[in-house]
Structure 1
Amino acid sequence: MSKSEAARLVVAARIRRGLSWSEIADKIGAPVVWTTAALLGQHPMSQEQVREVCAFLGLDEAVAESLQLQPARDIDTARMTDPTVYRLLEALSVYGPALKELIHEEFGDGIMSAINFRVDFARRPDPEGDRVVITFDGKFLDYKW
Structure 2
Amino acid sequence: MKKIIMEIPEITQKLLAAKKAKNVSFADLEKAVGRDEVWIAAVIYRQASASDEEASKLLLALGLDEELAQELGEYPVKGLGPIVPTDPFIYRFYEIMQVYGMPLKAVIQDKFGDGIMSAIDFTLDVEKEEDPKGDRVKLIMSGKFLPYKKW
Q: Which residue of 1 aligns with 2:88?
A: 83
Q: Equivalents in 2 of 1:99, 1:116: separation in Å?
A: 19
By percentage of residues, which structure has more helix?
A: 1
Greater CA drift, 83-92 or 73-82: 73-82
2:34 is the alignment partner of 1:29: yes
User: Equivalent of 2:55, from 38, 50, 58?
Assistant: 50
In structure 1, stretches of 5+ residues that fail to align are none
**Identity across matched positions, percent:** 38
- TM-score (norm: length of structure 1): 0.92
RCO higher in 1 or 2 (8 Å CA, sep ≥ 6)?
1
The one-letter amino acid of 2:45's match is L
Runs of 4+ in 1 over 6 A off after TM superposition: none
Q: For residue 81 of structure 1, give the secondary structure of its aligned residue in structure 2.
A: coil
Root-mean-square deviation over aligned CA pairs: 1.6
* Aligned residues of 2:128 and 2:138 also touching (Cα < 8 A): yes
Q: Which residue of 1 aligns with 2:19?
A: 14
Q: Which residue of 2 aligns with 1:123?
A: 128
| Alpha-carbon distance, 1:79 to partner | 8.4
Q: Deviations over 1:45-77 (max 9, x none)?
A: 010111111122121234221111000113246
Q: Equivalents in 2 of 1:78, 1:8: separation in Å?
A: 22
Q: Equivalents in 2 of 1:9, 1:97: separation in Å?
A: 39
In structure 2, stretches of 5+ residues that fail to align are 1-7
Q: Structure 1 residues 142 and 31, CA, compared in 2 at 3 Å: closer, same or farther?
A: same
